[in-house]
A and B are shown apart, each in its own frame.
Chain A
Amino acid sequence: MYGFHGRLLHIDLTTQSYTWQDIAASRLTAVLGGVGLGAALLYDYAPARVEPLSAENPLIFTSAPLVGTGLTTTAKYAVVTKSPLTGFIADSLSSSFFALELKRVGVDALVITGAAEQPTYLQITDAGVEFRAAAHLMGLSAQDTAERVRYTVRTEEEAEVRVAAIGRAGENLVRFATLSNEGRHAGRGGVGAVFGAKKLKAVALRGQRRVAVADTEAVEKIAVTLRERSVGPHTAKYREIGTVANLAVFDRLGSLPTYNFQNVPFAQAEALSGESFITNGFSQTHGCAACTIRCERLFQSLSGEAQRLEYETLFALGPMCGIEEPDAVLQAARLCDQYGLDTISTGGTIAWAAECADKGLWPELRATGLSFGNAEAILALIADIAHRRGAGALLAEGSRQAATHLGVEAEGFAMQVKGMELPGYEPRSLKTMALGLAVSPRGACHNRSGAYEADFSGHVDRLQADAGRGALVAASEDFSAVLDSLIVCKFLRKCFDDFYAEAAQLMSAVTGWEYTAADLRQVGERINTLKKLFNLREGWQPEDDWLPPRLLEEPLSSGVVQGVSLTPDELRLMIQSYYAARGWNEQGLVGEEKKRAVGL
């Protein structure tokens, strides 16, 4: 077999045993790797209606056919499980050397079930699995855990291990805890809490196996082309500034959410802009393994420490919480990384709490000094969430769960979809994105579709809703599903002239199996249908595809988008157009005929 190993490693933490199992070629052809294979395995291994933080919820790592080929931006892996934040599928990506090592272990997937009795970490090689005590690692950050694991290895060989670990938030079952490796995070959906529930602190990998490709010459030729394109104008933003470049321009377009989505624009946007970070201070550029784009930016805080910063982190811990000082955002980001917290959900949950405090709905919280813009109180609350102490214990459940304790008014401004806090794209001024956020299988997600791309294209009126958006969102989701299953970084997405045709050529060269553009289009649709089927099995209802009341009741009241609103009728129209584009019925249910049509 080329491109794949054709097997998975099933590890049972309860019995401390493991087995290798074959994966049929037909399955790999049908869903590729990454999120596609992860979704398929989740459907198989998760008992219906499984409790996300129970031993029975499987934790699935998947590799992908392009990993290890040397193609730029392909050193990625997926972690898939049932999300403790949403109760639906969680499929998060992370990247770099851990991803390469996963492939070298000689499997296409790790499926981890059961739960350990004591804190444990897994040492996995291509020869097997060791279940090692992790009590001495508890309380450490993911980064410190990785260093300690490498420090305590027993052989020189083991010193080369690559480690993914959780921090204190995962240990404490914070429902938006991350899994981290090499400073990168499988961030959204709370996979870190699933680790914590299994008493699993880390996974350390070391392998020697390599996967051959079917046509080395053809793969190399494509690799050269993509490498050249990856340093062209389409990626200049990521290479020169990083994703933090979004903040100033989003603010100018009325698309930067601020103060818990209460309004736009943000008075201090220039001070917090990526351009200002680059111009005014020290910064470093980093990249994942096998990446020529190198989008990562580290900025120096006043204390002299270098901190990674992405747009979503900058938005969520900055304007969303009313924080104006760049250094305060860097400190907050550092805390989230240290504890292993998803920065978007952390910022979104704290912003909700700050509004509760402002409105007098949570007097105890107000007494702590929490309010929008109070950096000191917000930094303290981040630590409280990670430790589940004081108000942090409730906030560790996420804004949706926390809001149910405070009543209907507080629920109206919990800015989440399916329990997942919204990213930094204002839905009222980005109507295609509004639909994408409402219907995304994993909740308010900006990664499993690039629906905002349509709003920025000039092909649609971003301020108006219409029935054409359903097809755009479905196409974007399918495109993303293929990207995330090959796996290719989304920042390479505009470097293809004809994505499906070129990806089919690439997959044929890597695997030796004949793929056409049409095949891959169907793979994208199949994966999204599979995710929907999983969610349906876990109890999805039509009201889950909806946006928070604030977005549908309050027009934007200032800036270039003053008066722009999104009504329930407009959202309903777009959702129906999405279901129609997907071939689902008006309730969003998938019929037998549709399942057959996509090969499920």
Chain B
Amino acid sequence: MDTQASTQSPALSAVILSGGKSSRMGRPKALLPFDDKPLIAHLVERLSQRFSDIVVVAAPDQTLPSLPVTLVHDAVAHQGPVGGIYYGLRAIRGPAAFVTSCDAPFLQLPLIDYLVSQLTHNGRGYDVVVPVWQDRLQPLHAVYRRRVIPHLQEQLATQRLRPVYLYDTVPTRTVPAAEIKRFDPEGLSFLNMNTQEDYQAALAHWRTLSAPISCTVELFGVARLTAHTPRVPLTLAAEATLGDALTVLGVACPALLGSVLSADDTGYTSLRNGYACNINGKDFVRDAHTRLRAGDSLLILSSDAGG
């Protein structure tokens, strides 16, 4: 385990709780293999895209593979989520942390970004941002400020181990499903595993997400005339982004480069000014990191709709 601290002072941190009992699963959930790698390694990899300070909270005697994180252990085992959150927050270097459990294989970074942004909402500051999915609070997919530590400490001392007591005490922003669906329409973020059956189902879904995806680019206006075709089928890597798709499109239709697309020195391709992209005829997208799904249609059109 690499426990060397970075000299960089991170704005926000992430905490992964891995000290659960895993009694129904029969083996540590953090170590369940996904593509020949333990799940916790995938989680760290994904969260590293947003957080440079990641803390893993393990049970007192738990062994984990070497990971680029800060490892801490529960002083007292099995105090539930409140204990894990408490020990995790004590170890972070930032003022707040996104907290998740180690058995959530489908974290969605755009949703996490949104939750973090909600620490301030409508001009008001919050100490906790917790989503509500299927009418249930999701304390292990939430954001906590470091300053709630004394409240958690008191809860542990008085054996009030349900996170909801904290929410009743400090300013808490609950994020409703309607807002969550904008970033994670199916609620994959909240899918966790308690049994072998859960694990097998998650594994099957994981493999679906890992397979290459097919998308179609529909060209309109100048783009269509330039490419001499109304549509271009693309095969993209799993979890490809809009930027990835435009890069592949530039290779498939080099005529578009220079007029509709522009490529940088590394070959990474984006839309030129004057053009816009819409996914499936519904949402206009601007962020090159927007994740695509199998079957998506990307519409390339003029950004000026004057007529």
Interface string of B258-276 (1 = CB under 8 A from A): 0110000000000011111
Interface assignment of B281: CB less than 8 Å from any CB of chain A: yes
Chain B interface main SS type: loop
Residue B280 lies at the interface, judged by CB distance under 8 Å to chain A: yes
Residue pair A237, B221 in contact (C-beta under 8 Å): yes
In the complex, how many residue pairs between chain A and chain B have their CB atoms under 8 Å apart?
Answer: 107
B213-247: CB near A (< 8 Å → 1, else 0) gives: 00000101110110000100000000000000000
The verdict on B206 contacting chain A, using a C-beta distance below 8 Å, is no
Q: Check if B222 sits within 8 Å of A241, measured CB to CB.
A: yes
Given A275, A455, A490, A560, which contacts B306 in the complex, CB threshold below 8 Å?
A490
Tell me, in angstroms, the Cα distance from A312 to B275 when the chains sit together.
21
| Given known A-B contacts A456-B303, A491-B306, A494-B304, A236 and B280 have beta carbons under 8 A apart | no
Contact with A along B293-307 (1 / 0, CB 8 A): 000000101111111
Would you call A252 and B284 a contact (CB within 8 A)?
no
How long is the Cα–Cα vector from A456 to B276 in the complex, in angstroms? 8
**When the two chains form their complex, are residues A240 and B221 in contact, meaning their CB atoms are under 8 A apart?**
yes
Among candidates B280, B284, B286, B307, residue contacting A243 with C-beta atoms closer than 8 Å: B307
> Cβ of B278 and Cβ of A253 under 8 Å apart?
yes
**In angstroms, how far is the closest chain B Cβ from the Cβ of A376?**
27
Neighbouring B residues of A501 by C-beta, 8 Å: none
How many whole Å from B183's CB to the nearest CB in chain A? 13
Selected from B218, B273, B306, the residue in CB contact (under 8 A) with A233 is B273
- How many chain B residues touch A (CB < 8 A): the figure is 30
Which of B222, B260, B281, B307 is the one whose CB lies under 8 Å from A560? B281
Residues of B within 8 A of A493 (CB): 304, 306
In the assembled complex, the Cα of A253 lies from the Cα of B283 at a distance in Å of: 9
Given A233-B272, A236-B259, A237-B302, check contact A446 B284 (CB 8 Å).
Answer: no
- Which residues of the partner chain A approach B281 to less than 8 Å between Cβ atoms? 252-254, 559-561
**Chain B residues closer than 8 Å to A198, beta-carbon distance:** none
User: B151 CB to closest chain A CB, in angstroms?
Assistant: 35
Q: Inside 8 A of A457's CB, which chain B residues have their CB? A: 276, 284, 303
Q: Interface size bucket, A side?
A: 35 or more
Say whether A440 faces chain B, with CB atoms less than 8 Å apart: no
Q: Are B307 and A249 closer than 8 Å at their CB atoms?
A: no
Which of B220, B285, B304 meets A252, CB within 8 Å?
B220
Residue in chain B with minimal CB distance to A564? B282
A456 touches B225 (CB 8 A): no
Residue of B nearest to A313 (CB): B307
Closest residue of chain B to A490 (Cβ to Cβ) is: B306
Question: Which of B220, B230, B274, B299 gathers most chain A CB within 10 Å?
Answer: B220
Partner of A278, one of B225, B273, B306: B225
**Known contacts A249-B299, A254-B281, A458-B276; A275 and B224 CB within 8 A of each other:** yes
Instruction: Let me know if A232 is at the binding interface, CB within 8 A.
Output: yes
Question: When the two chains form their complex, are residues B221 and A234 in contact, meaning their CB atoms are under 8 A apart?
Answer: no
Chain B residue at minimum C-beta to C-beta distance from A232: B274
Which residues in window 400-459 of A have CB below 8 A to B?
A: 423-424, 446, 450, 452-453, 455-459
Asked whether any CB of chain B lies closer than 8 Å to the CB of A463, the reply is yes
**Which residues does chain A contribute within 8 Å of B259, judged by CB atoms?**
233, 236
Pick from B218, B274, B302, B306: contact of A450, CB below 8 A: B306
A238-256 interface bits toward B, Cβ cutoff 8 Å, 1 = contact, 0 = none: 1011010110111011100
Indicate if A121 sits at the interface (CB-CB under 8 A): no
Set of chain A residues within 8 Å of B282, measured between Cβ atoms: 463, 560-561
Most buried by B among A246, A250, A491: A246
In the complex, whether A462 has a CB less than 8 A from a CB of chain B is: yes
Interchain nearest-CB distance for A317 vs B (Å): 14
CB neighbours (8 Å) of B307 from chain A are 243, 246, 310-312, 315, 423-424, 446
Task: Determine if A279 and B225 form an interchain contact, defined as CB atoms under 8 angstroms apart.
Answer: yes
Q: A252-B281, A463-B282 are in contact. Are A453 and B305 (CB under 8 A)?
A: yes
Q: What A residues does B220 contact at CB under 8 A?
A: 245, 248-249, 252, 275
A315 to B305, CA, bound (A): 14
Q: B306 and A236: CB pair below 8 A?
A: no
Contact B305 A452 (CB under 8 A): yes
Cβ-defined contact, B221 with A233, below 8 A? no
| Identity of the chain B residue whose Cβ is nearest the Cβ of A447 in the assembled complex | B306
Q: Which residues of A contact B274 (CB under 8 A)?
A: 232-237, 494
**Given A233-B273, A246-B307, A312-B307, are A458 and B286 neighbors across the interface (CB < 8 Å)?**
yes
Provide a sorted-by-A list of 21 A–B residue pairs whose CB atoms are within 8 angstroms.
A234-B273, A234-B274, A237-B274, A237-B302, A243-B306, A243-B307, A249-B220, A249-B301, A253-B278, A312-B307, A315-B307, A423-B307, A453-B305, A457-B276, A457-B284, A463-B282, A490-B306, A493-B306, A494-B304, A560-B280, A561-B282
Sort A-B residue pairs by CB-CB distance and give the 4 closest, nearest first: A233-B274, A311-B307, A458-B284, A560-B281
Q: A249-B299, A253-B299, A452-B305 are in contact. List 11 more A-B contacts (CB 8 A).
A: A232-B273, A235-B304, A237-B222, A240-B222, A241-B221, A249-B220, A311-B307, A456-B284, A458-B276, A493-B306, A560-B280
